[in-house]
A and B are shown apart, each in its own frame.
Chain A
């Protein structure tokens, strides 16, 4: 597997982190707006259901990919032999780690 070198990797990871913060906050607000069922146990603040977590990761990865394509980084790196699969992996890596970390922390 040919990896994207440091300056490109930093840009991709930073971008995915910023996008993840935005998407995760939006998801949290959206979930809070939905009224809880009567009699249901109140969930901890900032907690979202696993399907929402998965949706946040997928949406963040897709938005990061689109932003990298808009900034020509995908074309530049694939032109140097880095596969699209590798780039998708790095676009989704930080959202996955952050989502899992937050999910664990809010449940503690």
Chain B
């Protein structure tokens, strides 16, 4: 395994509360890696450390073969990484169309038309994000990620609070990106949706991460089934 992005042995405390002890995540080109874990276990913290929005107490980030103690998002972005936050990617002051025009201005090999079509948002371009429903807004945000044509995508809880039809479009977009060679890492709780999407499964619990393997291996992983999946098969 030679991942495009590897975040290794990360430790992080907030005051006396130790959130991460030795957590690691990675994203491989052409594959969708899913990071599962209960609420508050530190998935978002780990992703934010990976892109430099938060500082780790220890650990290292390796992107495209380059080791970084403190990565910077704009530098990673110039090398093809895109971070899709849990919420709030788009500016409420601008229309959706202005965001896509910005993407095509800043990114040479952008893929705006395909993204608009795939996420079915062509008729939303004149609106501002306040005029959109949660699902429409999420589709627009994922479309920005798709339009940027990233080499690596980190999507933090992209399925949170959206309709199944929107989730289906988003899954198609992630699969399309992976088929183009993008390394996709997705976090969340929506077990059925995420396992249907995943090539590789990571499980975060008690401050550390476990590489569970493929979806089939996840279904047979005793501890993962007992402590996380419960009755879900």
Q: Which residues of A contact B (CB under 8 A)?
A: 2, 4-5, 7-8, 11, 71-73, 75-84
Contact = CB atoms under 8 A, between A and B. Distances in A.
A79 B82 contact: yes
A7 B89 contact: no
Contacts of A8: 91, 94, 102
Contacts, number: 65
Interface of B: 72-74, 77-78, 82-83, 85, 88-94, 98-99, 101-103, 105-107, 144, 148
Given A5-B105, A7-B101, A7-B102, A83 B74 contact: yes
Nearest to A3: B106
A82 to B, nearest CB: 6
A81 B91 contact: no
B137 to A, nearest CB: 11
Nearest to A84: B74
Contacts of B107: 80-81
A84 B51 CA distance: 14
B102 A81 contact: no
A75 B94 contact: no
Contacts of B103: 80
Given A75-B89, A79-B83, A7 B94 contact: yes
17 contacts: A4-B102, A5-B102, A5-B105, A7-B101, A8-B102, A11-B91, A72-B89, A73-B93, A77-B102, A78-B77, A79-B77, A79-B82, A80-B102, A80-B103, A81-B77, A84-B72, A84-B74
Contacts of A75: 83, 85, 88-89
A72 B94 CA distance: 11
Nearest to A86: B74
A50 B77 CA distance: 39
Contact of A72 (B74, B88, B105): B88
A2 B72 CA distance: 15
Contact of A71 (B77, B78, B93, B99): B93
Question: What 9 A-B pairs are tightest by C-beta distance, nearest first?
Answer: A81-B78, A7-B98, A5-B105, A80-B106, A81-B77, A83-B74, A78-B74, A78-B73, A72-B88
